[in-house]
Homo-oligomer: A and B are copies of this chain.
Amino acid sequence: MSRPNDRLNNEMRQLKMQAGFVKNPEGSVLVQTGNTIVLCSAMVEEKVPPFLKGTGSGWVTAEYSMLPAATEARTPREASRGKITGRTSEIQRLIGRSLRAVVDLTSLGERTIWLDCDVLQADGGTRTASISGSFVALYLALYRIKEKGILAEIPLIDYVAATSVGIVNNVPLLDLEYTEDSQAEVDMNVVMTGRGDFVEIQGTAEGKPFSRQEMDNLLGLAEKGISEIIALQAQTIAKEVGYVPQFTYSHEE
């Protein structure tokens, strides 16, 4: 059974990143992976949530939303329903955690970076595209405030990016699109750093439980995909700032 557009099992959809799509946020990028389109923005606010006041530490938080017209059948607006769904809440917590994993919050100082991920078009993988795009928006925002002299260094430790993998009809696949995702027996979101370590693994058996061997195969696919995404992140940032970000991992010794 072949995939749509004859994609190979270990092949990503076409991925594009357009930095500076909107001009008000300190950093922004329009991420497009196949038919999934997400606008990621990073905005700096010069205060922190109450639990961090006076600690010297900063914060990174994310909000995620789907435009009503992003899906085939219109998705009712959460603002109109008066509350966000459990799914949205879960996704924004995941995005926030994933990005904080590569930020040195102490060096950031007492300020908050708001990451806004708004899905303009949804075709599977919106949460992982949000993570991958948020990294670029975040880097650009931190770069901009460093240029203004507000920060001495960009307080990032490594790249971070994400993809989804899954098992469809017993076959492990990389980067599921919606028609695949909706019939997957196993669905796994993987978040990794540039150095190749895991930040988050969320694997769910939608249809039937999966074995250790199957999980190993899925992780292999995810590693391949994420290394490709990170290459594009590096290139997108380089086009804006004039150099490719390098990280030395000195914090681990």
Residues of chain A whose beta carbon lies under 8 Å from any beta carbon of chain B: 21-25, 28, 35, 37, 39, 41, 43, 45, 63, 65, 67-72, 74, 77-90, 92-93, 97, 101, 114, 116, 118, 120-122, 158, 188, 192-193, 195-205, 208-212, 215, 219, 251-252
Q: Is the CB of A101 within 8 A of B63?
A: no
| CB < 8 Å neighbour of A215 from B45, B83, B87, B201 | B201
Point out the residues of chain B lying under 8 angstroms from A41, CB to CB.
67-69
A62 to chain B, nearest CB (A): 11
Number of copies of this kind of chain in the complex: 6
Q: Which residue of B lies closest to A22 (CB)?
A: B121
Point out the residues of chain B lying under 8 angstroms from A43, CB to CB.
68-69, 74
Q: Is the CB of B210 within 8 A of A69?
A: no
| CB < 8 Å neighbour of A74 from B45, B158, B200, B252 | B45
**Known pairs A23-B35, A25-B74, A90-B90. 6 more at Cβ < 8 A?**
A21-B120, A22-B120, A41-B67, A68-B114, A188-B201, A212-B219
A74 to chain B, nearest CB (A): 5
Point out the residues of chain B lying under 8 angstroms from A69, CB to CB.
22, 24-25, 28, 39, 41, 43, 116
Residue pairs across A and B with Cβ atoms less than 8 A apart, 24 shown, are A21-B120, A22-B69, A24-B69, A39-B67, A41-B69, A43-B68, A43-B74, A63-B80, A65-B79, A68-B114, A68-B116, A77-B79, A78-B79, A79-B83, A79-B88, A80-B84, A87-B93, A90-B90, A192-B209, A197-B211, A199-B205, A199-B209, A201-B201, A208-B251
